[in-house]
């Protein structure tokens, strides 16, 4: 396969994931200004993010299924319009319940349209450099704290949070829609899953695994459960990173810069772990990253100075950013390309339920105990659980009869 255009798809996908997912996850920057302006509790505002991740979990499965049937481009275009409309509508929310429903439901539905379909698109274009390709797509999301977060913070400072959210919605549509037009399907040269070579190299069709069958395998359960624990472990510390730093006496823009450093480190982690998994295999790289993530999450209890926040952000983001694209590679290797959108959409759905726990748990811990200590203790424990589940992964089946042309 000629994969040159595949790198165009990767570049467009990285830009889309940066802007779209950065916009969907921007509530971490809005949290303190919204609470200060409206008087709404941090638990209440954070609950919007919890609802977002729950809704995103269900929508990720649906969008993944649709991407297998409609194609990735159509899914992303639909999600972009809904994302912009959701942010614009939320900027006019008059009370907390309206804010929670608009942000959580509209943006949650939109948010599921990007990550799983884009990872599927990248995996479809590559065989030899698959882990690197999906890592670069994920790296776009890692760039969001470095690019989107400072813009949002500047808009809030220059105007107010409502104007900033409205501008973010308009900007998201303006960037994502043109980039989505660059997404294409790869040439159909890789045999479908379950095809074996017969006489003279002619393919003999074998019954392929269906998505329903994949959901009943131990491999799917292990991947989904690991992703769930992984996201549950890092979502709280990520979401409350800026607010925690501000509470320790760090200036707001400096606190946002910590978020930016984490984004830059996460970008490096995605590339480093992607290249490493192509060389050493996914399982050992994943287990190593999950262990580093767990220890880093627990270490947040001990930091309070700006330099300490920077150092820990580098280590923490290197780990959680690095492991994220590896789940797509695992799904592609275990279940093949034909049902990847549906299966990875389901894995992403389970992971989003894990992501939903962190924002609410952090808000509750702060409002109840006046600090985030119990959030970081819980994140450490759940992170170790992710390591334990990942250690149960069995070797990926590699049928010798499956003839695949490697790009």
Q: What is the set of domains in the chain, with CATH numbers?
A: 4-184+214-390 (1.20.1250.20)
Q: How far is CA 282 from CA 123, 130, 137, 243, 393, in A?
A: 15, 12, 17, 34, 10
What does the alpha-carbon distance between residue 222 and residue 228 come to, in Å, rounded to a whole number?
A: 10
Q: How far is CA 238 from CA 83, 143, 242, 322, in A?
A: 21, 14, 8, 15
Q: Angle between the 373-390 and 218-239 helix axes, to the nearest 10 degrees?
A: 160
Q: How far is CA 396 from CA 67, 124, 268, 330, in A?
A: 25, 18, 27, 8
**Model-level pTM?**
0.68
Say if residues 115 and 141 touch (Cβ distance below 8 Å).
yes
Q: How far is CA 278 from CA 114, 128, 324, 380, in A?
A: 24, 8, 15, 28
**CA atoms 388, 391, 393, 394: torsion sign:** negative
What does the alpha-carbon distance between residue 88 and residue 102 come to, in Å, rounded to a whole number?
A: 10
pLDDT of residue 390: 92
What does the alpha-carbon distance between residue 39 and residue 11 come to, in Å, rounded to a whole number?
A: 41
What does the alpha-carbon distance between residue 227 and residue 231 come to, in Å, rounded to a whole number?
A: 6
Q: How far is CA 297 from CA 350, 376, 384, in A?
A: 21, 6, 11
Say if residues 355 and 104 touch (Cβ distance below 8 Å).
no
pLDDT by residue for the chain (407 residues), tens digit each?
456 788 888 888 888 988 888 888 788 788 888 988 888 887 888 888 888 888 887 887 788 778 777 888 888 999 999 999 999 999 999 899 999 999 989 998 998 888 778 877 877 777 777 777 777 777 777 677 677 888 888 999 889 999 999 999 999 999 999 998 988 877 665 444 443 343 334 333 344 677 788 888 888 999 999 999 999 999 889 888 888 888 888 888 788 788 778 877 887 888 888 788 878 888 899 999 999 999 999 999 999 899 999 999 999 999 998 888 888 888 888 887 777 778 887 888 888 788 878 877 888 888 888 888 899 999 999 999 999 999 988 766 554 433 333 34
What does the alpha-carbon distance between residue 110 and residue 53 come to, in Å, rounded to a whole number?
A: 11
Say if residues 29 and 137 touch (Cβ distance below 8 Å).
no
Taking Cα atoms as reference points, which of 345, 354, 355, 344 lies closest to residue 63? Answer: 345
**Strand ranges for 201-306 from DSSP E:** 203-204
């Amino acid at each position: 396969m000629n994969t040159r255009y595949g790198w165009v798809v990767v570049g467009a996908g990285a830009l889309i994931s940066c802007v779209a997912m950065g916009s969907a996850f921007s509530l971490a920057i809005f949290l303190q200004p919204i609470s200060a302006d409206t008087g709404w509790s941090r638990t209440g505002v954070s609950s919007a993010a919890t609802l977002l991740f729950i809704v995103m979990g269900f929508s990720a499965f649906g969008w993944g299924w649709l991407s297998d049937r409609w194609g990735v481009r159509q899914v992303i275009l639909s999600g972009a319009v809904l994302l912009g409309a959701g942010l614009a509508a939320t900027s006019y929310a008059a009370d907390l319940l309206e804010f929670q429903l608009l942000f959580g439901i509209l943006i949650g539905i939109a948010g599921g349209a990007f990550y799983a379909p884009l990872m599927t698109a990248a995996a479809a274009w590559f065989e030899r450099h698959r882990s690197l390709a999906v890592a670069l797509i994920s790296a776009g999301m890692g760039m969001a704290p470095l690019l989107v977060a400072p813009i949002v913070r500047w808009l809030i400072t220059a105007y107010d949070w409502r104007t900033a959210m409205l501008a973010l919605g308009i900007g998201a549509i303006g960037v994502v829609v043109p980039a989505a037009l660059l997404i294409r399907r790869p040439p159909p040269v890789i045999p479908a899953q379950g095809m074996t070579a017969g006489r003279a190299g002619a393919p003999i069709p074998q019954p392929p695994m269906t998505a329903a069958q994949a959901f009943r395998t131990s491999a799917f359960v292990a991947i989904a459960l690991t992703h769930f624990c992984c996201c549950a472990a890092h979502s709280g510390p990520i979401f409350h990173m800026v607010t925690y730093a501000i509470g320790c006496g760090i200036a707001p823009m400096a606190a946002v810069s910590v978020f930016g450093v984490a984004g830059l480190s996460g970008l490096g982690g995605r590339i480093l772990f992607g290249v490493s998994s192509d060389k050493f295999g996914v399982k050992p790289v994943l287990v190593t990253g999950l262990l580093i993530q767990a220890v880093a999450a627990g270490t947040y209890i001990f930091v309070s100075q700006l330099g300490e926040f920077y150092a820990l952000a580098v280590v923490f983001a290197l780990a959680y950013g690095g492991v994220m694209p590896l789940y797509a590679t695992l799904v592609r290797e275990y279940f093949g390309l034909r049902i990847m959108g549906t299966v990875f959409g389901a894995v992403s759905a389970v992971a989003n339920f894990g992501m939903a726990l962190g924002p609410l748990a952090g808000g509750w811990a702060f409002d109840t105990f006046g600090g985030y200590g119990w959030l970081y203790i819980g994140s450490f424990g759940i992170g170790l659980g992710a390591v334990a589940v990942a250690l149960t992964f069995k070797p990926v089946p590699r049928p010798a009869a499956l003839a695949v042309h490697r790009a």
